[in-house]
Amino acid sequence: MPEAPFPTSEAPPNPALRALLARASVPPRQLHDPAPDAAALSLAVSAAARAPDHGWLRPWRFVGIQGEARAAFGELLAQSLKAREPETTEARLDLERAKPLRAPLVVAAGAVLRAHSKIPAWEQEATASAGIMNFLNALDSMGFGCCWLSSGALQDPAIKAALGFAEADRLLGWIYVGTPEAERPRPERPAPDGFWRDWQPA
Residues binding ligand FMN (CB under 6 A):
24-25, 147-150, 173
In angstroms, what is the minimal distance from the CB of 154 to ligand FMN?
Answer: 9
Name the residue nearer to ligand FMN (CB basis): 62 or 148. 148
Contact 48, 139 (CB under 8 A): no
DSSP assignment letter at 151: -
> Can you say how many angstroms the Cα of residue 187 is from the centroid of all Cα atoms in its chain?
19
Where does residue 25 rank: exposed (0-12), middle (13-18), buried (19+ CB within 10 A)?
A: middle
Contact 31, 179 (CB under 8 A): yes
Q: Rounded to whole angstroms, how far apart are CA atoms 75 and 100?
A: 10
Name the residue nearer to ligand FMN (CB basis): 13 or 190. 190
In angstroms, what is the minimal distance from the CB of 175 to ligand FMN?
Answer: 9
Report cis status (omega within 30 of 0) of the bond before 180. no
In angstroms, what is the minimal distance from the CB of 108 to ligand FMN?
Answer: 13
Name the residue nearer to ligand FMN (CB basis): 24 or 112. 24
Name the residue nearer to ligand FMN (CB basis): 56 or 195. 195
In angstroms, what is the minimal distance from the CB of 150 to ligand FMN?
Answer: 4
DSSP assignment letter at 155: G
